[in-house]
Structure 1
Amino acid sequence: MTLVGFIKRINRDYCFIRVPTGQEYFAHKRDFKDPSLRRLGQYVQFTPLPPIDPSKNPPATDVEAIAA
């Protein structure tokens, strides 16, 4: 399953992606196919992974920038 969302917050090595339901996913820069495309507000598609810790945002992988 692939989800679409936008980058809501960026830190040095990771970011948070918000999907239309309001859920946020965590992605490390190594999870991006092209890390240079990590920009605030950038729309992306990604593969969600099962939560590691229920109290934290679930992880995302195979993150790819897309046109809005």
Structure 2
Amino acid sequence: MSRERDVLMWREAGKLASSGDYEGWLAIESELRSRGFSRAKLLFDNDRVRKKLDDVCKRAQQQRADANRT
């Protein structure tokens, strides 16, 4: 059960990062924890994971900004 929940959490993290609504991994971790993903803090305790989420967030925000300019 825990593994399936972790997979669901990673999918949600990706969706949140891609939405452009979040500044970075810390905001996503907080959102996931508020949604009941209690292991988010543990699973995000990795610099590579954090950087990846931050990069996706930045890219999504830039795409949103570019779309709003046109």
Higher RCO, 1 vs 2 (CA within 8 Å, ≥6 residues apart): 2
- Name the structure with the higher helix share: 2
TM value normalised by structure 2: 0.25
Q: TM-score, normalised by structure 1?
A: 0.25
The structure that has the greater radius of gyration is 2
